[in-house]
Homo-oligomer: A and B are copies of this chain.
Amino acid sequence: MEQAFLKYLAAQKQTISPDSIGIGDDAAVLSWQADQKLVVCTDLISDETDFHLAEVTPQQIGRKALAINLSDIAAMACEPVGAFLTLLLPQGAPSLELAKQIYEGAAQLGATFNCPILGGDTNSWPGKLAVSVTVLGRCPRDKPLLREGAQPGDAIYVTGSLGGSILGGHIDFQPRISEAIRLREICGLTAGMDISDGISIDLPRLCEQSRVGAEIDARLLPISDAAKQMSQSTGRPPWWHALNDGEDFELLFTVPGAEAAHLEAQWTDSTPVTKIGTIQSGTKLFLLDETGQRQPLKPEGFSHQ
């Protein structure tokens, strides 16, 4: 099967430069521009943990496997260069067809982000489906955006709207590559990451790396329609879902307080950016709840195992 799939991949003829070498040799070869930093992220999704094979298409699985990695590249405010796709396919399934469909989903998303699939590995085994993706990216500026660097007084922002991704958003979200790059052009981002486990878990991670505290306001959270829908079945307020639900894959970033007005005036992108709070000195994190009551921010989201 592997040889047949490699032939299929080689026929897709995705190349990134005239002297790059595509699929079919022992490794892929890329030219690299002088002195551009290289960023590398790798993330795996598996059946029954990150998706249910019976409920989604193989193309959606391939798309998600690439998208979560592109979201990591966006979190660094970098640009993707190419992706490597490793498949663990259940034995007995029509493997070649499944592999092609997963690849298609990844390649289609990759094409919209200038991120061709440059290689990978395919394996059949007596287990469930898993898809591992590694993405290489390049840093258009001196330094990638990191989780460290936030300063007391910085404004805390998020892109898009939050919550309820389990209703579908976790499968078809848009990685915020272009938004991150545009944000860096407009203002001096001090720190950033993507929201994979929910703000109540991810903001503490950013604050820990930056050695700062924070206060966010539940009344400022941009609430998705899916969060409102979830609220109806769980009985929890929509802001609870915006704060705690995972897999939004929006950007969480900080901007010097003095630049916040400039950012909001300059921002014309269709993806909204919303200020949700402020970085504070110390190491404690607080939440202003829907009544304006100040309380400790508790991590109630779903942490990826």
A34 CB, nearest partner CB in chain B, Å = 4
**Given that A26-B147, A39-B27, A144-B21 are known contacts, is A44 also in contact with B209, CB under 8 Å in the complex?**
no
CA distance A75 to B27 in the complex (A): 9
**Given that A76-B25, A147-B25 are known contacts, is A127 also in contact with B124, CB under 8 Å in the complex?**
no
CA distance A88 to B48 in the complex (A): 13
A35 partner, pick from B34, B37, B134, beta carbons under 8 A: B34
CA distance A152 to B127 in the complex (A): 45
**Given that A88-B130, A128-B125, A303-B3 are known contacts, is A41 also in contact with B21, CB under 8 Å in the complex?**
no
Q: Is the CB of B119 within 8 A of A41?
A: yes
Q: Which residue of B lies closest to A43 (CB)?
A: B121
Q: Which residues of B contact A106 (CB under 8 A)?
A: none
Q: Which residues of B contact A148 (CB under 8 A)?
A: 25
Interface residues of A in 59-112 (CB under 8 A from B): 72-73, 75-76, 78, 84, 86, 88
CA distance A32 to B123 in the complex (A): 31
Q: Is the CB of B31 within 8 A of A37?
A: yes
Interface residues of A in 290-304 (CB under 8 A from B): 303-304
A10 CB, nearest partner CB in chain B, Å = 11
- Per the CB 8 Å criterion, the residue count for chain A at the interface is 61
Q: Which residues of B contact A42 (CB under 8 A)?
A: 84, 86, 119-121, 134
Q: Spell out A's residues near B (CB within 8 Å).
A: 1-3, 21, 24-32, 34-44, 46, 48-49, 72-73, 75-76, 78, 84, 86, 88, 118-121, 123-128, 130, 132, 134, 136-137, 139, 144, 146-148, 193-194, 209, 303-305
Give me the 10 closest cross-chain CB pairs, A-B, nearest first.
A34-B34, A27-B41, A127-B127, A26-B75, A26-B72, A27-B39, A134-B134, A30-B38, A132-B132, A42-B84
| Extra pairs beyond A25-B193, A31-B35, A32-B38 (8, CB < 8 Å) | A1-B305, A25-B76, A27-B75, A29-B37, A42-B120, A44-B86, A46-B88, A134-B134
